[in-house]
Amino acid sequence: MTNRANELTALVTGATAGLGAEFARQLAESGHHLVLVARDEQRLKEKAAELERDFSILAEVLPADLTTDVGVAAVADRLRDAARPVDVLINNAGVGLLKSFEDNELAEERRHLRLHVQTPMELCHAALEVMLARGKGRIINVASVAAFANRGTYSAAKAWQVTFSRWANTTYAKSGVLVTAVCPGFTHTEFHDRMGMDKSVAPRFLWLTAERVVREGLADNAKGKGVSIPTKRYKVVSFFARVLPAKLTAGPPRRPLEP
């Protein structure tokens, strides 16, 4: 795939489902060519064919496991390719852990930390090499409103994304690169289903659509905002999560260990 004059390319991780698929769709609708990243090559090819057909854009597929050094290196190399520059990076790939920290296997926690912290950091670093040299670029890190609460390693990882994105936006906006952490709340995607989460735990009014989260996230990034919290209801939720005592945002208390 080649970049022609006045045409833009976006790279989206976790692009075959959920928010990643919606980011790809809305970017394609606005005329962006795409580099689609996920583990499942067949699903990537199907998604690429669908977007090319529907929006008359070019969609490149890049199968990669972003919890591995090899997978991350492949995507980073693509981002560093100045001959085929990426104008927009969407760091969306993510997983959730349903059990408590002490009940998870350490390997699961390492994979979780890699995917939510180390991988987006490495991909941002690679993207910035070309974006800063060109004097333009956009980066969105898909975080969560959980970043403002105290909910184990998921909140901790997403808090890193928020802090990093806010700092990077302040630092690089003057050089033409806008960085935004998008912080959705409960959103109708495959994410919670893959976790095995009971979606009835959250009332219906708290559930958002992927279309709205992505639309507001892209708009806030274009406006130069370091953090995007979709909808007024979640702006309120995030405010109280920040000011309430930690014990009130940490979730239900753990059951005592059996004697």
* 197: exposed, middle or buried (Cβ count in 10 Å: 0-12, 13-18, 19+): middle
Instruction: Name which of 180, 158, 66, 81 is nearest 119 in CA terms.
Output: 66
* Spatial strand order in the sheet of 177-182: 59-63, 33-38, 9-13, 88-91, 137-142, 177-182, 227-228
Instruction: Name which of 44, 37, 45, 34 is nearest 7 in CA terms.
Output: 34
Examine the residue annotation and report whether 154 is marked as an active-site residue of this protein: yes
Cβ atoms of 195 and 146 closer than 8 Å: no
Q: Which of 55, 148, 154, 234 is catalytic?
A: 154
What tokens were used for 211? 């279309």
* 53: exposed, middle or buried (Cβ count in 10 Å: 0-12, 13-18, 19+): exposed
Instruction: Name which of 118, 93, 112 is nearest 12 in CA terms.
Output: 93
3-state secondary structure of 111: helix
DSSP string, 116-180: IIIHHHHHHHHHHHHHHHHT-EEEEEE--GGGGS--HHHHHHHHHHHHHHHHHHHHHGGGTEEEE
Q: Known catalytic residues?
A: 154
